[in-house]
Amino acid sequence: MKRKKYWFLFAILLLSLSSLSPSFDFTHHTRREPPGDEPVPPQQRPELPESDQGPIKIGVQLNPDELGQLQILNERFMRETGADIEITPLEAGETETKSLLLHMSLGEGPDVILMDSHYIKALAMSGYLLPIDASQAAIPNGDMMNGLLAPLQWNGYQWGMPFDVDPYILTWQKKGEEGSPIKMPDNPVLSFDPEDPYAFGAAVHLLEGDPTKPEEEALEKLTSYFHESTDNEQQSGDAKKKDPSASEIEPLPMVIESYSSFTKKDNEGVSAILGMGKTHLNTPVVRTRSFAVAANTESPALAMEWVTYMTSKTTEVEWSKAVGTLPVASEMYTMSTNLRDRGIWQKVAVPVQLLLSRNEAAALDFGDPNGFQVYTQASYQLLIGEITIEEYMNLYTSDKN
């Protein structure tokens, strides 16, 4: 009987609450839709029309010729869309990179960056980038060389869009002074820019070492050959000063350089092959550059639209022809119009495409997402004698790795 009484009282309480004023709100909503505007669940709200025309800034690490070509492409984009896009050059040095990171952390950096792909993952892990929506890409990932994506992926997302590829090659004169053919020797004297980490990696590769974490034997050979090449160049220069008609003391060394720099020269009578040995064929040494969208941008849709435009297949072909790098889309290496080209393009581009479709490019970072700058500095210090081979190897054989 007592339990029935309690249920009766509970029913009266519910009726009393239901009779309260409709303005008595139990939903705790602090925001109300305007009169006549029925709320729409967030996932069903219609997308706002994209009307953002900028301005946005594009920070790029390019040489002057490349910067000029990108300006041409950007001018065309602005004419077609009416957007306001400013391209600003970024220096590639350690100090300048740290300055860029500081500005990005303060929300003052560019909206889009174009830089070496080795930097992208580290920037993403620091929270400076937005994920790239691969579904909006002009070149779907399935049409892209697989080996270009690994440096751009982290935590289940893709943080950059590959733009171009620049493999490193070994070049030498086909014939000597008397016209006799010159074959590449087993132990070549290698010449390259000591401040270029990719040239260093290619040299290690040619000496059958692992460019990612070079072995001691390869480093010993490399430092020996590099110093020999430097000494020969010095002696030859001194001899020329004394007697301008004097011939070279030693044959010209084998030169390691980027494909793009080679194509800009008179390469008549010069042979070229990929800068690779036979031991580590699964890690070709190529430089890749990628676009990334900054987390601080106020115009993410416009930024992505610009990246999509610059990575379209049409723009890729135009860019490659103008600056000498290679496109990132696999289709570019199978189209008959490209395959009609002979010579250096066939010898370098097609093998690179085959390698990168199956394997990843060599990661020159000692296994650390933040290690590219360390790799660059340590390689230079090793070549000029500031650190020993043991000190160099400690960078990737210590307990932390």
- Most confident range, picked from 63-77, 272-286, 366-380: 63-77
Residue 134 to residues 8, 43, 162, Cα–Cα distance (Å): 62, 20, 11
The mean per-residue pLDDT over the stretch 24-53 comes to: 39
- The whole-number average pLDDT for the span 31-36 is 33
pLDDT for residue 345: 79
Per-residue pLDDT band at 218 (split at 50, 70, 90): very high
pLDDT of residue 59: 92
Q: What is the pLDDT of residue 287?
A: 95
* Tens digit of each residue's pLDDT (9 = 90 or more) over 341-394: 556 777 888 888 888 888 888 989 988 888 898 999 999 999 999 999 999 999
Q: Flag whether pLDDT at 235 surpasses 50.
A: no
pLDDT tier, 144 (very low <50, low <70, confident <90, very high otherwise): confident
Taking the C-alpha atoms of residue 271 and residue 170, their distance in angstroms, rounded to an integer, is 8
| pLDDT of 236 strictly over 80 | no
pLDDT at residue 398 is higher than 80? no
Residue 58 above 90 pLDDT?
A: yes
Domains recognised in the chain with CATH numbers = 56-165+288-348 (3.40.190.10), 167-284+363-397 (3.40.190)
- Can you give the pTM of this predicted structure? 0.78
* In contact, 354 and 347? CB cutoff 8 Å: no
> In whole numbers, what is the pLDDT of the chain averaged over residues?
77
Instruction: Give the percent of the chain with pLDDT over 70.
Output: 67
Count Cα atoms within 13 angstroms, Cβ side, for 44: 4
Spatial separation of the C-alpha atoms in residues 255 and 190, rounded to whole Å: 6
Residue 231 has pLDDT above 60, yes or no: no
Cβ(139)–Cβ(173) below 8 Å: no
Q: Average pLDDT for residues 283-298, to the nearest whole number?
A: 92
pLDDT band at 38, cuts 50/70/90? very low
Of 157, 183, 180, which Cα lies nearest the Cα of 170?
Answer: 183
**The one-letter amino acid at 310:** M
Q: Which residue has the higher pLDDT, 102 or 261?
A: 261
Residues 307-312: what's their mean pLDDT? Answer: 93
With a CB cutoff of 8 Å and minimum separation 6, the contacts of 306 are 56, 58, 77, 83, 85, 112
Alpha-carbon gap, residue 161 to 131, rounded angstroms? 10
Q: Residues 179-182: contacts with CB within 8 Å, 24+ apart?
A: 182/251
Average pLDDT over residues 251-273: 82
Of the pLDDT bands very low, low, confident and very high (cuts 50, 70, 90), residue 246 is very low
Check whether 178 has a pLDDT greater than 60: no
